[in-house]
Amino acid sequence: MIRVEDLHMHFGGIRAVDGASIDIAEGSITGLIGPNGAGKTTLFNVIAGRYKPTSGKVLLDGEDITGLEPYELFAKGLLRTFQIAHEFSTLTVRDNLMMVPPEQPGETLLDVWLRASKVRAREAEIRRRADEVIDFLQLGHVAEERAGNLSGGQKKLLELGRTMMVDAKIVFLDEVGAGVNRTLLNTIADAILRLNKERGYTFCVIEHDMDFIASLCDPVIVMAEGHVLFEGTVDEVKTNEQVIEAYLGTGIKNRPARKQAEAGS
């Protein structure tokens, strides 16, 4: 569904993404992991239209979407959540959800005057959908709460909820589980699985929690230093020596003596 070809995103001298190529299969929940600073979020930012890449291509179902604006991608069903939640803090949880669907008829004054019944019907439909999402994510007890007062974990659920207000095809989740307790994390994992199975959403999930990745993702792509280091199942990733080294940050000097001998040093 998504193909990223030899993508580069440089900020001055920093090569945040440095020749990354990935494929995300339709219907998959693909994990994206890697040490801090590996370029994961930057890759999402390019795919989701926040940055125009230095070079390289992003394809969605074979169509070149490189450099499209986030709203254009949104219209194609490509959505993302942010590592730091982006809620409208003074609006309620329900209103945060209700403002996601684009082009609501009540947005112009003329519509409100001339087509009041149409506006009301559409608003009722969006409200119904918001209530379904609230139920799905077990946020009923905070539906009328200002989003700014939610806990960190609840804000992450709201981020996920925003992606459920439209018919998404592919959703990019950036550390949707960070700072979230186990119970909420399980709620999030269940929601992702259900959206995948019941609504056919494809997911790409950045997460540092390997248990979370293991419970959801196949395959897992490992990034380091701006490019893809390895791709495989969770078990393959866990036992891959290159991956272990990337995480431990051990240069050849810090490797055990036997490995140094093998490496000929």
Residues lying near Mg ion in the complex (CB under 5 A) are found at 41, 83
Residue listed under structure tokens 């920093």:
14
- Smaller CB separation from ligand ATP, 45 or 187: 45
- Of 34 and 219, the one with the shorter C-beta distance to Mg ion is 34
Nearest distance in Å: CB 20, ligand ATP: 11
Residue 178 Cα distances to 28, 133, 159, 184, 196, angstroms: 21, 21, 12, 11, 21
The whole-angstrom separation of Cα 31 and Cα 210 is: 10
Residue 256's contacts (CB-CB under 8 Å, 6 or more residues apart) are none
| 243-249 long-range Cβ contacts below 8 angstroms, 24+ apart | 246/34, 246/35, 246/38, 246/222, 247/35, 249/35
Amino acid present at 95 = D
Give residues in contact with ligand ATP (CB under 6 A).
11, 14, 16, 34, 36-42, 83
DSSP-based three-state secondary structure for 12: coil
24 vs 133 by CB, closer to ligand ATP: 24
Closest CB to Mg ion among 175 and 231?
175
Name which of 83 and 186 has its Cβ closer to ligand ATP. 83
- For the bound state, the minimum distance from the C-beta of residue 155 to Mg ion, rounded and expressed in Å, comes to 17
Residue 10 burial class via C-beta count within 10 angstroms: exposed 0-12, middle 13-18, buried 19 and up? middle
Q: Which does 79 bind (CB under 5 to 8 A by kind): ligand ATP, Mg ion, none?
A: none
Partner whose footprint covers residue 36, from Mg ion, ligand ATP, none (CB < 5 to 8 Å by kind): ligand ATP
Binding partner selected for residue 38 from ligand ATP, Mg ion, none, CB under the kind-specific 5 to 8 Å limit: ligand ATP
Minimum CB separation of residue 26 from Mg ion in Å reads: 25
Minimum CB distance to ligand ATP, residue 34 (Å) = 6
Which helix (H) or strand (E) segment holds residue 98: the answer is: helix 93-98
